[in-house]
Amino acid sequence: MKKTMRILAVMSLIVWGQLVHAQITAAPDRKEGQGPYKQLIIRGVTLINGTGAPPLGPVDIVIEQNKIQRIVTVGAEGNPIQSARRPVLAAGGQEIDATGLFALPGFIDMHAHIGGKEQGTPAEYVYKLWLAHGITTVRDPSTGNGLEWVLNEKKRSAANQIVAPRIFAYTAFGMGAKKPINTPSDAIEWVNENAKNGADGIKFFGAAPDIMEAAIKENKRLGLRSCAHHAQTDVARWNVVQSAKAGMTSMEHWYGLPEALFENKTIQDFPADYNYTNEQTRFEHAGKLWKQAAAPYSEKWNKVMNDLISMDFTLVPTFNIYDANRDLQRARRAEWHETYTLPSLWRFFAPSRNAHGSYWFNWGTEQEIEWKQNYRLWMTFINEYKNRGGRVTTGSDNGFIYQTYGFGFIRELELLREAGFHPLEVIRSATLYGAQALGIEKDLGTIEQGKLADIVLVNANPLKNLQVLYGTGAIELNAKGEAIRTGGVQYTIKDGIVYDAKLLLKQVKQIVDEAKTKENFKITQPGIE
């Protein structure tokens, strides 16, 4: 009994690894950002509005305080601006000359942990990386720094007292419970407390079926949303389809989906020496999961997909967070690590038998090939889900597995593209669909008259190359034959406040430089001088 208890405790530490530790340093008071303005006109920009509409421009976007008032087409491509059509600048108004720039709605990161003690990331570092990559809204799934802490940051962000995206808090199920949750009525009690405490929703990892059902239903009855990482420890008895039927609104990662697609079994093909606390085993065998599921376009595959779509169920695949599984060296040597990855975060990423997501015991060709095949099947499902009208959104889960905040989110956009999404479908997933999944589409998610002014301005066309959205931009040869950097978000506007995205990145670099100097730290690769 005692031994079982200890095993369970270790297990929950790993599943709930990001939940059980002390808080990180909250963001300092805001010093950056200009506005909101009585009037702000973004002049001559090419608009990608997030609805799926093609680019249109040049347009002038008129913002008053934090609201988009008007969008006016002021010419045709390649022709001189028709000055007479231009909205007149009001007294005291401000302008941004956005000739040659592209405007997109602020991005929504649906799976955004605000760092933790293990990562050693002050909130300021995380928030500035997010905003520098155009992310103006995040959903914190599991409120790892505690619900109270996150709600406080949410309030300060809403009042623009700190430099941070809008925050939505989904508490980890059972977090802060005054007593153990052993029965459906215990669950209902906790769900009500959570709502009363001001959470926006719940993130589940799994529990007994009667408890899952009661909690999800009660949460829905209260008008809150929910999501789940259907952990291997409970998925045999409760998978994604059961969650959706009970009223859950979104699923995270892939967990629980291939399991819902099993045809000739009900439990994943675990080898006898599998042990969930051994993360190499856990992730290695996860890479063999999709091939155990019903084949693409088979009857079962179609039925599960159509059922989930009919329940308006949102998918948050977080492809990027498993990218290292299919090419560890790529993720480990990404060019931004040297400049933008904090020493403490780098150490957390390094191979370890204890840190969550650092399962590089002997990860090699065999594991990577399995994961490449795994992605093909997984991506086929996600792309077709979108093709049939299902909602797929963008979540990064960054701060684990060599994915640095912000950069990993842009990688997520690239991976949706790889799955088969048109670049405009990628942008819609990152904006409008995220807003719908959070229930905020009336105010956010697109650049339209009447909506809040959350806008990303970038100096290159992201539809041609999503990589221009990375803080480090994309490499291009100029006319002189020199390799130059293009892109990187120029300005991120949140709530009508204009942030110089490049300045935010510079400040992140300073935070990293200071930590490096203090610790005499340099990124090295294991066993290489």
x-marked contacts with Zn ion along 377-416 as a string, rule CB under 5 A: --------------------x-------------------
Which among 114, 139, 56 is positioned nearest to 444, based on CA atoms?
139
Which two structure tokens, joined as six digits, stand for 497? Answer: 């406040």
- In the complex, what is the shortest distance from the CB of residue 20 to Zn ion, in angstroms, rounded to a whole number? 14
Q: How far apart are CA 367 and CA 218, in angstroms?
A: 41
Nearer to Zn ion (CB atom), residue 64 or residue 397: 397
- Using CB under 5 A as the binding rule, whether residue 124 contacts Zn ion is answered as no
Nearer to Zn ion (CB atom), residue 397 or residue 454: 397
x-marked contacts with Zn ion along 306-345 as a string, rule CB under 5 A: ----------------------------------------
Nearer to Zn ion (CB atom), residue 434 or residue 473: 434
Q: How far apart are CA 339 and CA 77, in angstroms?
A: 38
Q: In this chain, which residue has its C-beta nearest to Zn ion?
A: 397
x-marked contacts with Zn ion along 340-379 as a string, rule CB under 5 A: ----------------------------------------
Q: How far apart are CA 243 and CA 437, in angstroms?
A: 16
Q: How far apart are CA 347 and CA 328, in angstroms?
A: 16
User: In the block, which residue shows the tokens 């340093």?
Assistant: 25
The answer to whether the CB of 284 falls within 8 A of the CB of 370 is: yes
- In the complex, what is the shortest distance from the CB of residue 16 to Zn ion, in angstroms, rounded to a whole number? 11
- In the complex, what is the shortest distance from the CB of residue 179 to Zn ion, in angstroms, rounded to a whole number? 26
Nearer to Zn ion (CB atom), residue 40 or residue 114: 114
User: In the block, which residue shows the tokens 């998610």?
Assistant: 445
Q: How far apart are CA 36 and CA 49, in angstroms?
A: 21
Q: How far apart are CA 469 and CA 270, in angstroms?
A: 40
Nearer to Zn ion (CB atom), residue 57 or residue 408: 408
- In the complex, what is the shortest distance from the CB of residue 318 to Zn ion, in angstroms, rounded to a whole number? 7
- In the complex, what is the shortest distance from the CB of residue 492 to Zn ion, in angstroms, rounded to a whole number? 23
Tell me the number of residues near Zn ion by CB under 5 A. 1
- In the complex, what is the shortest distance from the CB of residue 91 to Zn ion, in angstroms, rounded to a whole number? 48
What distance, in Å, lies between the first and last C-alpha atoms of the chain?
48
Nearer to Zn ion (CB atom), residue 17 or residue 462: 17
- In the complex, what is the shortest distance from the CB of residue 433 to Zn ion, in angstroms, rounded to a whole number? 19
Count of CB atoms situated within 10 Å of the CB of 501: 24
Please report, as a single letter, which amino acid is at residue 472. T
User: In the block, which residue shows the tokens 């993720």?
Assistant: 331
Q: How far apart are CA 470 and CA 169, in angstroms?
A: 26
- In the complex, what is the shortest distance from the CB of residue 18 to Zn ion, in angstroms, rounded to a whole number? 7
Which among 257, 265, 253 is positioned nearest to 239, based on CA atoms?
257
Nearer to Zn ion (CB atom), residue 124 or residue 252: 252
Cis geometry, peptide bond prior to residue 58 (ω within 30 degrees of 0): yes
Nearer to Zn ion (CB atom), residue 218 or residue 397: 397
For Zn ion, the binding residues (CB under 5 A) are 397
